[in-house]
Chains A and B, each alone.
Chain A
Amino acid sequence: MLIGWFDRVVLHTAARSLEVFPSVIAVDQKGLRTTNMKHYEVEILDAKTKEKLCFLDKVEPNATIGEIKSMFHRTHPQWYPARQSIRLDPKGKSLKDEDVLQHLPVGTTATFYFRDLGAQISWVTVFLTEYTGPLVIYLLFYFRVPFIYAPKYDFTTSKHWVVHLACMCHSFHYVKRLLETLFVHRFSHGTMPLRNIFKNCTYYWGFAAWMAYYINHPLYTPPIYGEQQIRLALILFLFCQIGNFSIHIALRNLRPPGSKTRKIPYPTKNPFTWIFLLVSCPNYTYELGSWLGFTLMTQCLPVAFFTLVGFIQMTVWAKGKHRSYLKEFRDYPPLRSPILPFVL
């Protein structure tokens, strides 16, 4: 007899009173009222085949999409939540993990459509991999590891001091990026499609090898205007590296840890952030400046190509970011351009 006769009386009475008086207040684990709460039924269909994949009953109205994804994952273990796209319409936009069931335009039987986003990989992993490559690869060329240049040059060093400077700048740039990935950036999305890592690494590693080959080549020709050109280039490079870092810190401080809030970035006390007055994505502006500096420093056509391709990609991203700022915030400062003040 684990419970005494008195407890059984109490329990029995309580149970009966719930039947007779259903308005007795009941509360769930979150401390939210669950009395008289209509539980939802959720069915999840495949967006393409409309096949019924999952049926969940007794889902609480305050359940989030994230929780529903976890439940779906339990019935289909191969689809972990990060690779689920849940939407109201087969061709519609993905719902956010934070969306609450009862605030969505659905009846008590909610129908969602599922699309498999494919294998996912975390942003942090991708960034670390794609940035470590150039760091290491450039050094292989700098130290003239065998099988790259003619054997008589193996493990020799360049006689031009700009080549040593370039190596320091390139390495500094990627170390900075790695540290920022680990300690500064706050990512909106946890993951991206797995195939991106192959695409991204090919880009970064390929270009790094191509640039490094020529800069560290035994037949490398230093800049035409010599020390003047290199000094100017170095100043530009360092200025933009500090600028880029300042923007990353400013953006980090907009967002409390672990959150995904989005706010309009504004200039801070740091003069390097005053560029926010004119530009939506100054991190890209400074990045362009850094690589222009590096191009000027090395006077190397492949570096110019890399700068150009990077600029095109960053412009696409900046325009997209600018557009979403304008859509989300009605009071967005009108003077700002996406990436280049007044121009682009």
Chain B
Amino acid sequence: MAFEITQILLSAQSPDARIRTEAETTLKQFQEQNLPGFLVSLSFELSNNEKPIETRRLAGIILKNSLDAKDGARKNLLIQQWMGIEIAIKSQIKGLLLRTLASSAPEAWHTSAQVIAKVASVEIPQKQWPELISTLLNNMNQPDQPASLKQATLETLGFVCEEISHQDLEQEEVNTVLTAVVQGMNLAEHSPNVRLAATKALYNALDFAQTNFENEMERNYIMKVVCETAMSKEVEIRQAAFECLVSIASTYYELLGPYMPTLFELTSNVVRADDEAVALQAVEFWSSICDEELELQDFESSDAGESGSPHSCFIEKALPALVPMLLETLLKQQEDQDQDDTIWNLSMAGGTCLGLVARTVGDAVLPLVMPFVEENIKKPDWHCREAATYAFGSVLEGPSVEKLSPLVSAGLDFFLNLMKDENSHVRDSTAWTLGRIFELLDVISSENLQKVVMVLLESVRDAPHIAEKVCGAIYYLAQEFEDAGNNSLLSSYLTEIISSLLATADRTDSFNSKLRTSAYETINEVVRSSNLAESSQIIAQLLPAIMNKLQQTLDLQIVSSDEREKQSDVQASLCGVLQVIIQKLGSADETKPAIVQYADQIMMLFLSVFACHSSTVHEEAMLAVGALAYATGPGFLKYMTEFSKYLQMGLQNFEEYQVCSITVGVVGDVCRALDDKIMPFCDVIMELLLKDLHSNVLHRSVKPAIFSCFGDIALAIGEQFEKYVHHALPVMQQAAEACAQIETTDEEMMEYGYQLKRSIFEAYSGILQGFKDTKSELMVPYAPHLLQFIELVCNDRQRDESVTKAAVAVMGDLADALGSNIKLLFKDRVFYIDFLGECLQSDDEQLKETATWTQGMIGRIMVS
């Protein structure tokens, strides 16, 4: 039943778009009308040594895409389709795939290996391809087959191991697979190609080898082979072996102890003398160890007494030798490495690792690094000065403030002067280091601020890559003044800083948009951190300037898609600045008028931004509209007719769930601004929100926001929410029940569960308070379910405090709104007494207050 498809596959790769599209359509039709025939035809094409390489490769790719997709829902569909195919046909396809491994064309067997792994991931767990492993192992002992078969087989084994769990196979099979892979690495028996394939296969099989790693003898053997392979004479094999070691460092950290002396020697030899590709992996080995130890430290400090695996302090023990090794790498910079984002070299990896080491061991790193800094920072060779600066900047996070402060205070002036160094690499690292200083330490005083500002504003005119880092430094400098209160030292420099940043954003000498984005984002932080009373005038002047720039983007003639993308980027930055200004000036009654007087024009601009992107709702503009609604309050009503279509578009944007999520938040802002004046728009909003909740495509993270939004709507429209009760409440009840099923072992799911619970409570709170005094009897039928849900949440001892707060508040709302109607309900469910007791003992004042209020509300109905 195979069909001749070579011609179609060739056409599908034609440079002529018309031919290509036609061929693609034909293939698609074939796939839809006769999937088994389609897959068999592709398999024949792939396995047939007579066929052109490009059609074989494309056949393999289409096969793979017929079994696997990034999107979870589509992947499930594909798997279902595969499983529905007749067994005989599937056997035929699998046979062809295995046969392709013996092909002499690497493209063919390489693709086939991937397809086999995908089929295995479906069939091995279901025990539907029992002969796969034995067939593959058999390939390793075939003398009469081409040499590449072993290579192909090893690669296939690696891919298969990566796709399945070792529990899907008998332990005996697992052992034989690993034995085959490790033997493939054996120097004496195999060609370099086979050994490389085996080493890469081992990399993919490391998770799969869990049981074997737990056995000391097997582990010793694997480690011995990997270490020997790491000293192979072929660079590529050494690199692959070090990649294995990096992976082992993070997967089997707790088992590494006995091997560390060997591993240290191995890595330091490589870092000092080997090819850079290998040396990078050796440095990465230590970075991975740091990652593990940092995670253990985080875990220990947050969960005292309940440590899972032991901290072996490998970094601390290796420190005296490790740090000098890393410092050496810093001197191996490349010219112009700062201007090319694609470069990743040894000095960069070494400095990054040094930063991780500092975070891991803290103070202990300083005595090892500081002499290097002092020795090199004044040397005539720029490599030395740059390395010294970079080393200093790298160790600023981790050590204690007590140890760092004197060093930084003593060195600040020197670094400020270094911003005038003749070498751009030195200036670049110095700007970065200054940013780190301002971010991590508190060193600014009335004495040095003027000089700091002067130097930064001078340097922000330096080359784009340096200016970008200077923006970062200004960003963190501003942040230091966030809670400065009155007489903020920064206030007198505000005008100069903002105008310099605006000029920076306008620069045209940058190849990409990063500098412009950084400049605007730095303006945001400067505005946010400023003292409102002292800076409101300056910010009020900035507002029309930014509006003007946004208007200019609308007037541009857009031709190419690049220009369209750039326009969208600039608009995003400017909408961001507007959002920050609106939020800042809108936060106090005295400054609000500065926004309100421009509200019509600002809203016009946002609507125009929406209008010039037809396919999607501009995310930053949407965020800014939310801030504007808050600032204008009831005055926002006049924009609603025009704006509501973008609101609806945003709520229907399932693909870009961030946009949808932000739009849901803006609905809440609008509700609070308009109160019941939002009523005319509610039907369509509620309909879309309910659709969103029922969608399988929409990212789940949006759903809690939607429940909270129900509460916002209900609170705004009060008794008029009545008509939505029959739609909203059943979904809330369903979601409440789903909360009980949420996996408690997965941290991410648990966090999601908290959000969901909190938002359901917020929805109930809004509805109960909205109905209070007029329609509260509507909620009586839902009270038992709600109270049961609260009890369920209370019984979870692990619950997040924000959930506790929402739970105790909604309980008060229930008592407040329904009063003596539900006296019996509370009588029957005494859990609330303990729960209130727990809340009243809390250290959180807000929680205690809410609990006391709730106690009063329940007390009131119990005595009535």
Are A and B a genuine interacting pair, yes or no? no
Interface of B toward A, CB cutoff 8 Å: none
